[in-house]
Amino acid sequence: MKSTLLLALLPCALFFSCSSQPEQTEEQAETAVSSAPTLSLAWETDTTLITPESVIYDAANDVYYVTCIGVGRAADFDGDGYIAKIGPNGEIIDNHWVKNLDDPKGLALVGSTLYATDLNKLVSVDVNTGETTIEIVEGAQYLNDAASTPDGDILLTDSDLNMVFQISDGVTKVIIADTTLGRLNGVFHESNRNLLAGFNSGKIYAQNGSELSVLADGMPKADGIEAIGDGYFISCWSGHIYYLDKNMNKTLLKDTSAEGIGAADLDYIADKKLMVVPTFFGNKVMAYHVK
């Protein structure tokens, strides 16, 4: 009798299980979608920035700094790269604020000192005076992104070598080197870890000391990483911008791939609720209200 009763009840159990599951999944999906931010265009610069690659906001002076690779988009020691300065509404204050660089890319700001990577060099600029210092980073080959820590350390990624350099009190060391990163690009520092973006792998990694783990996948040509609350914005060079929530669920927020303008190393300004994105191929910076 037990066997017969169980068999009789099994279809009912399956029915209720199957019928209730989609409703829960839809509700969860709706919650995930509704929690993702939305973007609306706030402003954009004109198209005179020559291959803009990275942007960072200087709150003390209410300006943005933009690295521009110049005409040559390869790793060229050609001297036509520069850093531009733009105003809070996208007006270009000085299109060649810092000149005669090669292929400047990632930016970090510590106090009044702006740091920019430039192939195998680190450029330091006093934002108040414009005084510039350029130093070779020993062992570097193709420096890409930059980030800073609360202690004032500078983190640099090397895409060719799949390495992260750390500069602390003038001493440079490699804190991780791993070919599985897939042409390392973006870096973002948190209190207990660094987040890294793999350009070829399309993965976002967490790095803590020598430990490396994959947080998210499926974002080809991943470039910039910025935090928003307990989630993250990820820009992809092809023109896609994603949002990762705290559980690493992925939402595509913007797709400009059909326009062919790209989305390089972005910045997010929480006080303004503003995302700022260099377009690389579009020769302009675009800013979006975040809601």
Which pLDDT band, with edges at 50, 70 and 90, does 3 fall under? very low
Q: What is the pLDDT of residues 102-144, one digit of tens each?
A: 999 999 999 999 999 999 999 999 999 999 999 999 999 999 9
Locate the domains of the chain by residue range.
49-136
Using CA atoms, how far apart are residues 232 and 223, in angstroms rounded to an integer? 13
Tell me what pLDDT residue 73 has: 67
Tokens of residue 84, six digits: 């531009």
User: pTM to 2 decimals?
Assistant: 0.88
Q: What is the pLDDT of residue 4?
A: 32
List, in order, residues 6 or more apart from 83 with CB less than 8 Å away.
65, 66, 67, 68, 97, 98, 101, 104, 114, 116, 123, 125
| Predicted confidence (pLDDT) at residue 11 exceeds the cutoff of 90 | no
CATH 2.40.10 fits 49-136, yes or no: yes
Contact 83, 66 (CB under 8 A): yes
The larger pLDDT score, comparing residue 27 to residue 195, is at 195
Q: Judge whether residue 10 has pLDDT over 50.
A: no
Contact 259, 243 (CB under 8 A): no
